[in-house]
A and B are shown apart, each in its own frame.
Chain A
Amino acid sequence: MNKIEKVKGPISVLRRHDVDTDQIIPKQFLKRVERSGFGEFLFYDWAKEPGWDLDPNPILVTGRNFGCGSSREHAPWALEDFGFKVLIAPSFADIFYSNCTKIGLLPVPLPEEEIEALMEAVEAEVNLADQVVRFDRREVPFDIHPETKRRLLGGLDDIGVTLQQEHAIVAYEDERERKGPVTTTLG
């Protein structure tokens, strides 16, 4: 996973709420078995609408409940492949938020009124270590779980981190694992 610490640059604005992952990357592109190359299909149908203008800047600022709907990780893959490194919105859907943090794409929740101000700005700096967004000589703090922050800052491999607890997983399986059902004896 890419490390992420500080991202500074121009922002792109998408003024819509409840943007679902079907819009971010429509179904016909989920048939690929690769992980890369989704950026060119980002917002595939919306991008054909007159007046659509979304540049591949490092920062995307958008509306509440961003990434709702399907659990497809292809949505964060497409956003990241397109060029975004940070997503800023009043709120994110749960699975989408989690998926972003797994690939080093930083979701930043900010209050709605801050989003309004940020949408008027030209560029911003997002500092993960300090947990702040800086724009127009302002400094707005944001929340992130300390463990998620540690992994993003270090670009850590989640599976590697979990396997440091291998002894605890083995102990769970030996002592507390639920008896069945198993899938291998169904025929």
Chain B
Amino acid sequence: MPDTLFDKIWQRHEVSEGILYIDLHLVHEVTSPQAFEALRVAGRKVRRPDRTLATADHNVPTDGSQVAAQIRDQLSRVQVETLERNCEEFGVPLYSLGSDHQGIVHVIGPELGLTQPGMTIVCGDSHTSTHGAFGALAFGIGTSEVEHVLATQTMQQRKPRSMRILYSGELGYGVTAKDLMLATIGRIGVAGGVGYAIEYAGPPIEALSMEGRMTMCNMTIEAGGRAGMVAPDNTTLEWVEGKPAAPGPLPADEWLALRTEEGAEFDLQYEIDASAVSPQVTWGTTPGMVTQVTEAVPEPESEGDQRALEYMALKAGTPIQEIELDRVFIGSCTNSRIGDLREAAEVVQGRKVAGGVHAMVVPGSQQVKAQAESEGLDEVFLAAGFDWRSAGCSMCLGMNPDIAAPGERVASTSNRNFEGRQGRGARSHLVSPKMAAAAAIEGRFVDIREWS
């Protein structure tokens, strides 16, 4: 029987039934301290430090602090210092504050060339699905599993079911991978992917940049799916070529042969016409509560919807384009790569942030920051009145000083609009980088396709 991309990677990594070998384990400061401590107590070692890489991202201030000692919040400082001590003790390579390679874990893996087709990749973070954009099998794990992978370089994992979402048509002007993914979540629901590894396929996916594919795979977890994948093609090869950890020459034939074979079967398949997708804006407190920018806030259909409208302080029937904003956040593992920043900068060029709006751009890594600065993007943002920050998770999750105040309304390029996610009582609307940039200029949402 013909195999899927997912089948091939799974089979290649099965050590024995139910045990999967892990090629790369990424570690960060929030979900690892208890795992290292448990290893210490049990007298265990990290089995493969050479397949493990750590960075500090969730807790770090984005003010350019160069060492952990500069972190003012005591608990955050201790967590980063604990990571540094653990990595030293267990021999795990670490890019902490002050390193040229520090950044959001799902940004630095691909940018170092560590993320390659055909690999198994895990990290104690649900957005690990991002790495599937390269035709890898990548998923988020909990701290007990982090400990398990550190000790054994394997996972106990039962094979999930397979789903394919087959896209047709092409994305219209101003419509991005973020919009396509939000529309997909709106269609299949926030639990639609539970139990599945999802492959995204079809001409609109093949036309996406690696940044766009990463955005889609990143938000797979927002549809409940643990892993999202895109078959490797020439776009993938071009990205990996020349990166620090890339093999030279690339095993191009082997990687391209990973793609799902003709006639392979999936447990479930959806078909979505990408041409019909408009710019998306979330109105509620799950990523599935989403609509087109041309629509209005919908009538509540459940208690959950009603609760969400109350939290968001929105009335059904209000046009999305009349929603006024206090803050704009461009960043996060969903949309903080150089391609995302270029798209936002193009919108911002020569314009000014609306009065009363606080807008910030947070590059995903120090490398992205340096690249953006070499292209003058920082000056475009600064001239418009944006705050230009240093790398980290920033306002995606409010574990660091970048948080929104209670009641503030944020247009955000991140991945979760849960209650309190960006700060207690803060109201989040998820959008693409272009839409966020335009919203910063106007102080409200606009249809990027008609706005000039």
Q: Is the CB of A27 within 8 A of B398?
A: yes
The verdict on A54 contacting chain B, using a C-beta distance below 8 Å, is: no
B34 within 8 A of A: yes
Per-residue 0/1 for A7-32: is the Cβ within 8 Å of any B Cβ (1 yes, 0 no)? 00000000111101011001110111
Asked if A131 CB lies within 8 Å of chain B CBs, one says no
- Interface flags for B132-147 (1: CB within 8 Å of A; 0: not) read 0000000111111101
Q: Are A184 and B50 CB-contacts (below 8 A) given A71-B142, A91-B194?
A: yes
Q: What separation, in Å, do the CA atoms of A15 and B304 have in the docked complex?
A: 10
Cross-chain contact B418 with A158 (CB below 8 angstroms): no
User: Is B59 an interface position by the 8 A CB rule?
Assistant: yes
The answer to whether A115 has its CB under 8 Å from any CB of chain B is no
The reply to whether B126 and A31 contact each other, CB–CB distance below 8 Å, is no
List of A residues within 8 angstroms of B209 by Cβ: none
| Interface size range on B against A | 35 or more
Give chain B residues whose Cβ lies under 8 Å from the Cβ of A117. none
- Which of B75-83, B273-281, B291-299, B370-378 binds A? B75-83
A177 CA to B119 CA, complexed, in Å: 11
Closest chain A residue to B113, Cβ basis: A181
If over half of A's interface residues share one DSSP class (helix, strand or loop), that class is named, otherwise mixed; here it is: loop
Q: Which residue of B lies closest to A23 (CB)?
A: B419
Interface residues of B in 117-164 (CB under 8 A from A): 118-119, 124-126, 139-145, 147-148, 151-154, 156, 158, 160
Q: Does B452 contact A (CB under 8 A)?
A: no
- Whether the Cβ atoms of B126 and A169 lie closer than 8 Å is no
Given contacts A169-B153, A183-B52, contact A72 B420 (CB under 8 A): no
**Minimal beta-carbon separation of A181 from chain B (angstroms):** 4
Complex Cα gap A30–B116 (Å):
31
Assuming A65-B194, A162-B156, A183-B52, is B424 touching A45 (CB within 8 A)?
yes
Give the segment of A79-87, A92-100, A120-128, A133-141 that binds chain B.
A92-100
Q: Is the CB of A68 within 8 A of B224?
A: yes
Q: Is the CB of B49 within 8 A of A184?
A: yes
Contacts of A45 in B (CB 8 A): 419-420, 424
CB distance from A183 to the nearest CB of B (A): 4
Q: Is A56 among interface residues, defined by CB-CB distance under 8 A? A: no
Known: A168-B15, A169-B154. Is A183-B114 also a contact (CB below 8 A)?
yes
**Residue in B101, B141, B418 whose beta carbon sits within 8 Å of that of A23 in the complex:** B418
Name A45's closest neighbour in chain B (CB-CB). Answer: B420
Residues of A within 8 A of B (CB): 15-18, 20, 22-23, 26-28, 30-35, 45, 64-65, 68-74, 76, 91-95, 98-99, 102-103, 145, 147, 158-159, 161-163, 165, 168-169, 172-173, 176-186
Q: Show 20 residue pairs from A and B whose CB-CB distance is below 8 angstroms, ordered by the A residue.
A: A17-B304, A22-B420, A23-B420, A27-B421, A31-B59, A33-B37, A68-B191, A71-B142, A73-B143, A91-B194, A93-B191, A94-B160, A99-B145, A162-B156, A172-B15, A173-B153, A178-B12, A178-B118, A181-B247, A183-B49
